[in-house]
Amino acid sequence: MARSLDDLLAEGVSGRRVLVRADLNVPLDKQTRAITDDGRIRASLPTLQALREAGARVVVAAHLGRPKGAPDPQYSLAPVAARLGELLGAEVPLAADVAGDDAVARAGALGDGDVLLLENVRFEAAETSKDDAERGALADRLAALADVYVDDAFGAVHRKHASVYDVALRLPHVAGRLVAAELEVLTRLTTDPERPYVVVLGGSKVSDKLAVIEALLPKVDRLLVGGGMCFTFLAAQGHGVGTSLLEADQVDTCRRLLAEAGERIVLPVDVVAASAFSADAETSVVEVDAIPGDRMGLDVGPRTVEAFGRELADARTVFWNGPMGVFELAPFQAGTRGVAEAVAAVDGLSVVGGGDSAAAVRQLGLDESAYGHISTGGGASLEYLEGRELPGLTVLADRGEG
């Protein structure tokens, strides 16, 4: 087990510089660059506030989007620094660089309880480099900014990146509050979950979720499949899917999974079909064995929502990852909303597996507190459930003092 933030606080951090890798990768409006969902920033607050209150001098590293390893104004963390400052009730200046002259000067000038945000770590090509020496050189510069490292970026622990993995090799390190909370929940999902254990998977592609399906099928009581990925399963059952998203190369795999799982895989019985991928398209609800050849399914239908609700009604443990349809467009929101409400109503542990599912909960205005846990890391959650080794967690578990 990794050392915890409480272990670090017990040792005392007043006057010490603490580098916190946070997950502040929030969605921005393309035109205004306003933050459209600050959930990840809010999730970082418990660790940052605890360090501030203990008198630490906090240096925060984070990424935003996928810049090409060079400074790009559209991916600047400036909006994040402003919002983080609002939420902390204190100014959070943004360094002009990642670990360059401005970052060094500002980090050196911090007072007890101050917070500095470094510019987007992905402005440095070395952050995501496959070359250990390149990542190491950036990690050396980042480590020089602080005395101790806290990883609180659960959404990035599956990446072997300089600010996630290599820095922890160079400094005394602990897991932040968010990483600890995520791990506690995922451990409950993977070790003796209370039954019935039901997993709900959506999203667009079977290929993206194949590994987690293979890993979970032996462990779950029921697997409910919606979203674009359901059409490849429906095709495997012999149904025509019109112009719906279809991964033809995965049909045989889906056929095998259906044969292995029997009735434990539950598929939609009806879908909302549309003439085009558009909020203005003509729509109709059709049975899954009667999807017109010129239409695409963009949401699960009302009978499916009812059926999935029945499958969830007696569940004691639920993991949901992936929307049931194109919830960003109003005509195709009902499926995701209905299933999200059924997950929230579960009398037991309900976990929303990050990514688009967490975004859907917030965009649809659902009560976040109705869920046992909303993960900040979709990809990291799935890889953990697949049983894969996550570099950011492996390095934290090493108790080495740098």
The answer as to whether 360 is a domain residue is yes
The answer as to whether 396 is a domain residue is no
Distance CA 36, CA 28 (A): 6
Are residues 169 and 213 part of one domain? no
- Is-catalytic flag, 52? no
At 37-64, the pLDDT tens digits run 898 999 999 999 999 999 999 999 999 9
Task: Give the model's pLDDT for residue 400.
Answer: 52
Catalytic-role residue among 242, 325, 338, 355: 355
The answer as to whether 399 is a domain residue is no
For the domain that residue 86 is a member of, what is the CATH number? 3.40.50.1260
Output the CA angle 341-342-346, nearest 5 degrees: 115
Task: Give the model's pLDDT for residue 183.
Answer: 93
Instruction: List binding-site positions for substrate.
Output: 23-25, 40, 63-66, 122, 159
At 202-255, the pLDDT tens digits run 998 889 899 999 999 999 999 999 999 999 999 999 999 999 999 999 999 999
Number of domains composing the chain = 2
Output the tens digit of pLDDT for each of the chain's 402 residues: 689 999 999 999 999 999 999 999 999 998 999 999 898 999 999 999 999 999 999 999 999 999 999 999 999 999 999 999 999 999 999 999 999 999 999 999 999 999 999 999 999 999 999 999 999 999 999 999 999 999 999 999 999 999 999 999 999 999 999 999 999 999 999 998 999 999 999 998 889 899 999 999 999 999 999 999 999 999 999 999 999 999 999 999 999 999 999 899 999 999 999 999 999 999 999 999 999 999 999 999 999 999 999 999 999 999 999 999 999 999 999 999 999 999 999 999 999 987 789 889 988 999 999 999 999 888 899 999 988 999 999 999 976 544
Catalytic-role residue among 42, 188, 205, 255: 205
Instruction: List binding-site positions.
Output: 23-25, 40, 63-66, 122, 159, 209, 297, 328, 354-357
The answer as to whether 116 is a domain residue is yes
Are residues 170 and 214 part of one domain? no
Are residues 346 and 288 part of one domain? yes
Tokens of 354: 């990050």
The domain boundary, picked from 179, 213, 229, lies at 179
Task: Give the model's pLDDT for residue 248.
Answer: 96
Are residues 240 and 138 part of one domain? no
The answer as to whether 394 is a domain residue is no
Task: Give the model's pLDDT for residue 401.
Answer: 46
Instruction: List binding-site positions for ATP.
Output: 209, 297, 328, 354-357
- Is-catalytic flag, 177? no
In the block, tokens 């929307």 appear at 323
Are residues 80 and 158 part of one domain? yes
Instruction: List binding-site positions for (2R)-3-phosphoglycerate.
Output: 40, 122, 159
The domain boundary, picked from 144, 179, 214, lies at 179
Contacts of 394 (CB under 8 A, 6+ apart): none
Are residues 156 and 22 part of one domain? yes
Contacts of 130 (CB under 8 A, 6+ apart): none
- Torsion, Cα 183 189 192 193, to 10 degrees, reads 130
Tokens of 85: 């400052």
Are residues 157 and 72 part of one domain? yes
The answer as to whether 184 is a domain residue is no
Are residues 103 and 211 part of one domain? no
Strand order, beta sheet including 283-287: 283-287, 270-274, 296-300
- Is-catalytic flag, 322? no
The domain boundary, picked from 148, 179, 210, lies at 179
Domain span at residue 236 reads: 193-386
Three-state DSSP class for residue 57: strand
Are residues 253 and 286 part of one domain? yes
- Is-catalytic flag, 160? no
Of all helices (H) and strands (E), which one includes residue 265? strand 265-266
Task: Give the model's pLDDT for residue 304.
Answer: 98
**Contact predicate 127/161, CB 8 Å:** yes
Are residues 244 and 105 part of one domain? no
**Long-range CB contacts for residues 384-388, cutoff 8 Å, separation at least 24:** 384/158, 384/186, 384/190, 385/186, 385/189, 385/190, 385/212, 385/215, 385/216, 385/319, 386/211, 386/212, 386/214, 386/215, 387/190, 387/215, 388/158, 388/211
Are residues 89 and 13 part of one domain? yes
Provide the phi-psi class of 26: left if phi over 0, else alpha when psi is between -120 and 50, else beta.
beta
Q: Using the 8-state DSSP alphabet, how is residue 397 labeled? A: H
Catalytic-role residue among 40, 135, 177, 295: 40
Are residues 154 and 29 part of one domain? yes
The answer as to whether 186 is a domain residue is no
Of all helices (H) and strands (E), which one includes residue 81? helix 78-88
Tell me the whole-structure pTM to 2 decimals: 0.89
The answer as to whether 395 is a domain residue is no
User: Exposed, middle or buried: residue 229 (CB in 10 Å: 0-12, 13-18, 19+)?
Assistant: buried
Q: What is the CA radius of gyration of the chain?
A: 22
